[in-house]
C-alpha cells in the first residue's frame, strides 16, 4: 500500500526539517513555508492530511488556509491538524466573531514526536 501523504506548513525551516524527520518514518512528506505555497501545493496534488502553523506572514494565516480548504469542494474532506506556538485560547480571541474553527485537532508546539504520529494515525485511520 502506498504511503499516505502529509503537507506540513510552517515558516520555520528548522522546525519543518525536524518534524519532517519524524513524519517521514510513516508518511510521504511535502512542505510549504506559507499559506500561498500551501494552497498551491494542495491544488497541485491534494495530500491526505495537512499540518498547519497559525502565525506565518500574517497573524492568522494558518486559519485562512484552513478556511480556504474547507470552503472548497475538492479539499473539504482533508483532515487538518493545527500545530502552532500560540495557545488555542489566544487564537479564539483573535478570531472573535468566528464560531467556525475549521480544524480537526489543535496541538501546541512543542509536541512530542509520538503524540504527533498518534494524532495523525488516528485521523488517517
Closest approach of another protein to the CB of residue 26, in Å: 11
The residue from 86, 103, 119, 120 that contacts another protein (CB under 8 A) is 86
- Per-residue DSSP letter, 85: S
Q: Report H helices in the chain.
A: 13-23, 35-44, 61-71, 88-94, 113-124
Residue 18 touches another protein, criterion: CB under 8 A = yes
Binding mask 51-70 for another protein (x = CB under 8 A): ----x-xxx-----------
Torsion of CA 107, 113, 118, 123, to 10 degrees: 50
The residue from 95, 101, 113, 124 that contacts another protein (CB under 8 A) is 113
Residue 92 touches another protein, criterion: CB under 8 A = no
How many CB atoms lie under 10 A from the CB of residue 116?
19
Nearer to another protein, 21 or 74 (CB): 21
Nearer to another protein, 73 or 114 (CB): 114
Q: For residue 76, what are the contacts with CB-CB under 8 A and spacing of at least 6?
A: 69, 70
- Nearest of 28, 38, 31 to residue 4 by alpha carbon: 28
Residue 15 touches another protein, criterion: CB under 8 A = yes
The binding site for another protein (CB under 8 A) comprises 12-15, 17-19, 21-22, 25, 55, 57-59, 85-87, 90, 93, 109-113
Amino acid at each position: 500500500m502506498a504511503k499516505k501523504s502529509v503537507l506540513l506548513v510552517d515558516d520555520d525551516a528548522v522546525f519543518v526539517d525536524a518534524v519532517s524527520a519524524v513524519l517521514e518514518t510513516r508518511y510521504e512528506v511535502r512542505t510549504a513555508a506559507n499559506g500561498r505555497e500551501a494552497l498551491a501545493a494542495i491544488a497541485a496534488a491534494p495530500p491526505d492530511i495537512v499540518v498547519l502553523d497559525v502565525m506565518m506572514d500574517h497573524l492568522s494565516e494558518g486559519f485562512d488556509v484552513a478556511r480556504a480548504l474547507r470552503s472548497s469542494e475538492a479539499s473539504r474532506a482533508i483532515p487538518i491538524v493545527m500545530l502552532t506556538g500560540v495557545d488555542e485560547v489566544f487564537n479564539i480571541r483573535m478570531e472573535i466573531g468566528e464560531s467556525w474553527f475549521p480544524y480537526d485537532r489543535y496541538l501546541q508546539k512543542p509536541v512530542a514526536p509520538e503524540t504527533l504520529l498518534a494524532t495523525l494515525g488516528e485521523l488517517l485511520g
